[in-house]
Amino acid sequence: MRKSLAFAASIALALSLAGCSSIDSEEAMFATLKANCGDAVAETNAQSPVKDVKVTIGGEEAKVEFETPLQATTTTKSDTAVLVAGTGPVITGNQVVELEYMGINAATGEVFQPSALDGSGATGQMLKPGEDPLFCEALGGIREGSRVAVLYPGEILHGGAGIEQLGIGANDDVLFVFDIRNVYLPYAVGNEKGAQTGFPTVIRALDGVPGVTIPVDSPFPKASKDGAESTAIEVLIEGAGETVKVGDEVLLHYTGYTWADGANFDSSWDKGQPASFVIKEPGLISGFVQAVAGQKVGSQIVAVIPPSLGYGSEAMSTIPGNSTLVFVIDILGIKGK
C-alpha cells in the first residue's frame, strides 16, 4: 500500500458468502447483506413530527423549517423520515457511508452545524451498530441518494445534560438532516471463483474478515507480463460493480503478510474500518497497483507481489528486505462514482 506506511501483501483461496445464485449487479451485491442496523423508517412512530420537516436548498446554507419545539416521540430511540427518496444501495451497517448533514436545535430551530447540502461537504462515516451517536440505527434501511430528517431525543444525544457550547439545553431534542451521497460495501460480495494451486488459503468469517494460511515451505506463485516479472493474482470473489482504473480513488479492506514466515504486518480490519487509496504510482508499490487496477468493485483478490514490485531490498518497518508480499484485498467501492 502506501510506501511511506509500509503496507504489503496478502493471499487467497476463499469461501464466499455470496451463495449459489449468480450476482450480476450492484443491487444484487447489496441484496445479500444482513441488515445490521434495522429499518429506521419502519421503526419510527407514524405520528412523529419529523415527517413535517421542510428543507430548501440554495445559497451557502440550506434552510430547514419546522414548528418549534420539535419533540421526539420517545426518549429511547431516534425518529427518521425520508424527505427525498434515493434509488441507490441500502445502508445496512458496518460500512462506510459518505454523507452531508445539518444539525439543528429541535427546540429552538437554531442551526449549530450548517451545510449547503449541495454535495460539496460530504464526509465518510463508518456506521457501526451500537456506536454513538447511533447514526447507524438512525439511517438503517435508507438508500443512497436520499435526504432524511432524523430527530434525536436529548437523552440519547447528550444524556439530558445539554451541550452548552452549541446552545443546546438539557431538555432540548436535536434534529439532523442527512444527504446520503455514497454507500459502500462492508466486504467483498460477488461470485465465488475456483482457487488456484500454490496460492494461500483464505477463509472468511461471517463479518467478512479473512483468515489466511500461507504455504511458507512452498515456492510462491509467479507471473509475468510482456517478458517482465509481474504480480500473481488470484480472484476469489468476482464482484459485479465498476472496474477500477489507474488513478481511481478506491475504498478497500486489506491484510498484508510476508510469504517467508506468514507474518501479518498490516490490516485495515484491525483498524476497524477500510482504507482509501488512489491506485497509482508513486504512493503505492507497483505490485499493489497491478493487483487492484482492472478488478471489479465487490471482488476479493489475493496478490502475491515479488520483491521487485514491492519494497525491493529495502526493509520497511517489520518487513525485511527482499520480501515477497501477500495481500488479501476486498474492493468496496470507487470514490466519486
Average pLDDT, whole number, for the chain? Answer: 92
Full-model pTM: 0.90
Domain span at residue 128? 34-183
Domain assignment present for 226:
yes
Domain assignment present for 28:
no
Local confidence band at 195 (pLDDT 50, 70, 90 cut-offs): confident
Residue 212 shares a structural domain with residue 172:
no
CA atoms within 13 A on the CB side of 228: 8
Domain end call among 183, 207, 230:
183
Residue 174 shares a structural domain with residue 215:
no
What pLDDT, on a 0 to 100 scale, did the predictor assign at position 17?
39
Domain assignment present for 251:
yes
**CATH number of 221's domain:** 3.10.50.40
Q: How far apart are CA 58 and CA 36, in angstroms?
A: 35
- Given a contact cutoff of 8 angstroms between Cβ atoms, the answer to whether 265 and 11 are in contact is no
Specify the range with the lowest mean pLDDT, choosing from 6-15, 43-52, 80-89, 97-106: 6-15
Local confidence band at 231 (pLDDT 50, 70, 90 cut-offs): very high
| Residue 105 grid coordinates | 436545535
| Residue 74 grid coordinates | 420517545
Residue 327 shares a structural domain with residue 259:
yes
pLDDT in tens, 46-90: 999 999 999 999 989 999 999 999 999 999 999 999 999 999 999
Q: Give how many domains the chain has, as a whole number.
A: 2
**199 three-state secondary structure:** coil
Domain assignment present for 309:
yes
Residue 298 shares a structural domain with residue 208:
yes
Residue 269 shares a structural domain with residue 308:
yes
Q: Is the pLDDT of residue 12 over 80?
A: no
E strand or H helix that includes residue 286: helix 286-292
Domain assignment present for 132:
yes
Residue 176 shares a structural domain with residue 90:
yes
pLDDT in tens, 269-296: 999 999 999 999 999 999 999 999 999 9
Residue 194 shares a structural domain with residue 71:
no
Residue 291 shares a structural domain with residue 235:
yes
Domain assignment present for 116:
yes
